[in-house]
Amino acid sequence: MKLQDPAVQDGAGISEFEWSVEDTAQALIAASIEEAEIAESGVVEELSIAESAETLPRPPIVPRPVVPRLPIRRRTVSGRYRGRLGSWELELRVDVDGRRPMSRVSGDFYTVSGGTIRYFGSFIVDSPTLSVTSTTVTVRGTARTTWTTPFNHIRVTIPRTLILQPPADATITFHTASGQQGATYVCSYESGHFRTVQLEVDCVQGVAPFDSYDTGALPSGGPARVLSVPQAFAEAGIDMQMAGAPNVIPLSEAGPNQKWSDSELHASMVRHFSLWRDVPQWRVWLLAAYEHELGPGLYGIMFDQQGKQRQGCAVFHRGIGGSTAEQRRLQLYTYVHELGHCFNLLHSWQKSYATPPAPNRPASLSWMNYPWYYPGGPAAFWGAFPFQFDDLEVVHLRHALRDDIIPGGRDFTKGAALTDGEAFDAPIATQTSLKLELEAKKAFAYGEPVVVEIKLYTMSLWEQEANLRLHPNDGYVQIAIRKPNGDIVTYEPLIEHCAAPEMRTLDEQFPSAYESAYIGFGKDGLYFDQVGRYQLRALYYAPDGSTVVSNIVDLFVRPPLNETDQIIAEMLLNEQVGTLFALLGSDSETLRQGNATLNTLIDEYPSHPLTLYARLVQGINATREFKIVTPDSHVAIRAPQPKESVKLLQPVIEVSEKDPMRGLDNITLGMTMLTLAHAQKAAGNTREAENTAKRMESLFKKRITRKHVLQQIAEQVRSI
């Protein structure tokens, strides 16, 4: 770059004061190279006449080293920001990069009136979309809010600055789903931590509070580092600031037995916790005592659990005290564990006690687990423990709704659960050998019906009784859906069947059973109406009472590629159309608009890939008679229309045979080919029906290797 005069008008150039650090580095490197080239050429400036009268020594010319151009890092943008708009103040938390990013954005709103600040409400974006360029980070998503508002779609924009420059402001805009813009806040960077908490530690006379532990002193599962209690919370994104020097509490306050009861602890907290207030606040108190009245086996307790609570905890050095590596490790663990309770974190194996309940995580390598409850026992826990909270606990600490975490907020266990429902936890321990597996396409077009395959099989060489009713409509299988915005819902079928179990022995000859289910529409409406990443998991209720949890399936609903895709998606993302897909067609008068939409799709967009599903639904419906109860309580019957069915279903099968990625899944395709064969036979075309059956058997011999499945197909073919 070329230096400009600082007096250049209208900023027509760049003054020397406007050079970036990167520009300066480049200029210095260029100058070094130029001087080195001159030196190497041997060209030296001649002396003046006056100077030539005296021979002056010339120092050797040493070329300057060429400094390579080094890239200058840019700042991460995660952290806490704060901004004002009129009487509103927003604390914004962005968590998309840096240390253990949890892919969340959250915030708390406050109203400001003079010198009075009141909390209003909180929001969380569970699954934001992140866009990163060389200059900007943009985060978008749909927020869960504690108040009702249509302006729950957010966009956060943060410029990326060089590491030597100050952090940039974050601009957040709220808008509706239709794009109507609401408020915009410009928030200044406040901290790399997501919350700030003041910790006051007091100790009983004769007890020395814990200071730090080197995690490399004993084998563990994490990197070696020296951890204090504040540093342990800092790794989770919480800035825990020590509030003053510890007060030394006279031992006499513990009563005649020199041991502490819960009521004594609470009284001492009120008396000695100088920061205590009977209001929600980011302040906690920890008492380092010697012994609880329950004996040395009690290491610690979060005792403040009534009223405005979760502000005080205690640890007992009778059980954890000492100076060995094992004892200091236990002290660090106990201090962090009890403070975790103050922030409404439950034990790892007691998450189901929360309101709403969450799944237990007994195998979690977390501060909140008990080493002796961990599978394999304490040795296995300590050998693998990385000295950190697990991911869901980190999300809670950084992004939980304010009253669900702040000491003095909601009662203990209330709001302690996160949005991850039971279906997304690790499988429950069970003795059954049954396994459940979900399978689906990796990507679906926007508006495309989402169909999953459900497989039940046994891992045992012994016979295993199983109920083969695997369709969610029968109630023995439930499917949880995690949406792109983080919401987790359970697929609720439009019509649930009260069906008796279909029992079958799974053995070497018949090791597995399969089902295909459309789960795009149910009692809660459309489940896949957002573009983005989804996760699915199923639970199967076995006859012996066991709960079998499936794998997690990731699928992506991609955005429309063009205007036609958008039009067709809007046609298919309609509740009447969704109902028709769930019912595989209907003649109901209440669904007339939905049927008209499917017919329009077939007539006006015959070659579009998604038209296949309209033909499928209309084709299957045409094979059936349809009964309608008339206003005068009579039954009108619409006869089957096999010729219409054949006309609609043949293109569906042809596409699915040629291109499995654009066509139906194997189970649905098999059902469709059988339906076509029966329709052909009903229309009087027996030879065509036989040909369809042969095509079906030949096709699946190429696609499937499982003998018992091929035997089932052969039996179905023979029934035509």
Average pLDDT over residues 543-572: 90
Average pLDDT over residues 180-207: 93
- Cis omega (within 30 of 0) for bond into 356: yes
Burial 239-248 (b: 16+ CB within 10 A, else e): bbeebeebbe
Per the structure block, which two tokens stand in for 718? 């023979």
12-16, 92-96, 286-290, 392-396: lowest mean pLDDT where? Answer: 12-16
CB 606 within 8 A of CB 599: no
Instruction: Give me the CATH number covering residue 472.
Output: 2.60.40.10
Beta carbons within 8 Å of 600's beta carbon, 6+ residues apart: 571
Q: Facing residues of 451 across strands?
A: 518
Per the structure block, which two tokens stand in for 587? 């003649």
pLDDT band at 424 (very low <50, low <70, confident <90, very high): very low
Average pLDDT over residues 560-576: 95
86-90, 302-306, 541-545, 552-556: lowest mean pLDDT where? Answer: 302-306
Per the structure block, which two tokens stand in for 344? 């409404």
Residue 25 belongs to domain spanning:
1-72
The predicted pLDDT at position 57 comes to 56
Share above pLDDT 70 across residues of the chain, in percent, rounded to a whole number: 79
CB 681 within 8 A of CB 673: no
User: Could you say which of 155, 173, 191 is where a domain stops?
Assistant: 191
Is residue 167 located within the same domain as residue 224?
A: no
Q: Are strands 195-204 and 226-227 parallel, antiparallel or unpaired?
A: unpaired
| 3-state SS assignment for residue 371 | helix
Is residue 118 located within the same domain as residue 259?
A: no
Q: How far apart are the two ends of the chain, measured CA to CA in Å?
A: 81
How far apart (Å, rounded) are the C-alpha atoms in residues 453 and 436?
11
pLDDT band at 75 (very low <50, low <70, confident <90, very high): very high
pLDDT tens sequence across 274-321: 666 667 889 888 888 888 877 787 788 776 544 456 777 888 899 899
Give percent helix, percent strand, percent coil of the chain, each to the nearest 5.
30, 25, 45
Q: Residue 418: inside a domain, yes or no?
A: no
DSSP state letters, 396-413: HHHHS-HHHHSTTSSPTT
Q: Facing residues of 172 across strands?
A: 156, 185
Instruction: Give me the CATH number covering residue 232.
Output: 3.40.390
pLDDT tens sequence across 484-529: 988 888 887 776 655 556 888 888 888 889 999 999 998 778 999 9
Is residue 478 located within the same domain as residue 579?
A: no
CB 475 within 8 A of CB 491: no
Q: Residue 360: inside a domain, yes or no?
A: yes
pLDDT band at 232 (very low <50, low <70, confident <90, very high): very high
Cα→Cα distances 362→60, 348, 352, 395, 524, Å: 73, 6, 11, 18, 32
pLDDT tens sequence across 587-627: 888 889 999 999 999 999 999 999 999 999 999 999 988 87
6-10, 87-91, 465-469, 693-697: lowest mean pLDDT where? Answer: 6-10
Instruction: Give me the CATH number covering residue 659.
Output: 1.25.40
The predicted pLDDT at position 11 comes to 36
Average pLDDT over residues 546-573: 93
The predicted pLDDT at position 419 comes to 41
pLDDT band at 676 (very low <50, low <70, confident <90, very high): very high
Q: Residue 28: inside a domain, yes or no?
A: yes
pLDDT band at 481 (very low <50, low <70, confident <90, very high): very high
Indicate whether 104 pLDDT > 70: yes
Indicate whether 426 pLDDT > 50: no
| 3-state SS assignment for residue 273 | coil
Indicate whether 7 pLDDT > 80: no
Is residue 382 located within the same domain as residue 254?
A: yes
The predicted pLDDT at position 249 comes to 74
Q: Are strands 443-445 and 553-558 parallel, antiparallel or unpaired?
A: parallel
Per the structure block, which two tokens stand in for 537? 């998991």
Is residue 340 located within the same domain as residue 483?
A: no
Residue of 38, 138, 56 whose CA lies nearest to 94: 138
The predicted pLDDT at position 32 comes to 40
Is residue 381 located within the same domain as residue 433?
A: no
Q: Residue 284: inside a domain, yes or no?
A: yes
Average pLDDT over residues 121-136: 95
The predicted pLDDT at position 598 comes to 97
How far apart (Å, rounded) are the C-alpha atoms in residues 84 and 77?
20
Residue 356 burial (CB count, 10 A): 12
Radius of gyration of the chain (CA): 34
Cα→Cα distances 149→122, 143, 176, 524, Å: 12, 10, 9, 20
Is residue 356 located within the same domain as residue 378?
A: yes
How far apart (Å, rounded) are the C-alpha atoms in residues 637 and 630?
10
pLDDT band at 41 (very low <50, low <70, confident <90, very high): very low
How far apart (Å, rounded) are the C-alpha atoms in residues 299 and 367?
14
Higher local confidence (pLDDT), 252 or 125: 125
The predicted pLDDT at position 520 comes to 95
Q: Residue 641: inside a domain, yes or no?
A: yes
pLDDT band at 404 (very low <50, low <70, confident <90, very high): confident
How far apart (Å, rounded) are the C-alpha atoms in residues 194 and 14?
38
Indicate whether 541 pLDDT > 90: no
Cα→Cα distances 433→338, 462, 465, 504, 550, Å: 39, 9, 10, 15, 13
Is residue 65 located within the same domain as residue 87?
A: no
68-72, 83-87, 441-445: lowest mean pLDDT where? Answer: 68-72
Q: Residue 593: inside a domain, yes or no?
A: yes
Residue of 547, 544, 540 whose CA lies nearest to 470: 540
User: Could you say which of 176, 191, 206 is where a domain stops?
Assistant: 191
145-159, 187-201, 494-508: lowest mean pLDDT where? Answer: 494-508
Q: Which of 45-54, 494-503, 708-717 has the highest mean pLDDT?
A: 708-717
Q: Residue 262: inside a domain, yes or no?
A: yes
What is the count of structural domains for the chain?
Answer: 5
CB 602 within 8 A of CB 615: yes
Beta carbons within 8 Å of 610's beta carbon, 6+ residues apart: 445, 447, 448, 568, 569, 572, 601
Residue of 65, 88, 111 whose CA lies nearest to 187: 88
How far apart (Å, rounded) are the C-alpha atoms in residues 452 and 447?
15
Per the structure block, which two tokens stand in for 263? 């009521």
Is residue 526 located within the same domain as residue 408?
A: no
The predicted pLDDT at position 511 comes to 87
Mean pLDDT score of the chain:
82
Handedness of CA 321, 327, 333, 336 (dihedral sign): positive
Residue of 273, 267, 327, 270 whose CA lies nearest to 296: 327
Indicate whether 251 pLDDT > 90: no
Is residue 435 located within the same domain as residue 456?
A: yes
How far apart (Å, rounded) are the C-alpha atoms in residues 604 and 76?
50
Cα→Cα distances 594→519, 529, 590, 591, 602, Å: 18, 17, 9, 5, 13
The predicted pLDDT at position 537 comes to 92
The predicted pLDDT at position 20 comes to 38
Average pLDDT over residues 158-172: 95
Indicate whether 154 pLDDT > 70: yes
Q: Residue 471: inside a domain, yes or no?
A: yes
The predicted pLDDT at position 496 comes to 61
Share above pLDDT 90 across residues of the chain, in percent, rounded to a whole number: 48
Is residue 332 located within the same domain as residue 463?
A: no
User: Could you say which of 558, 586, 618 is where a domain stops?
Assistant: 558
How far apart (Å, rounded) are the C-alpha atoms in residues 193 and 237?
5
pLDDT band at 709 (very low <50, low <70, confident <90, very high): confident
Helices in 321-436 by DSSP H: which ranges?
Answer: 325-342, 377-384, 391-399, 402-405
Is residue 459 located within the same domain as residue 440?
A: yes
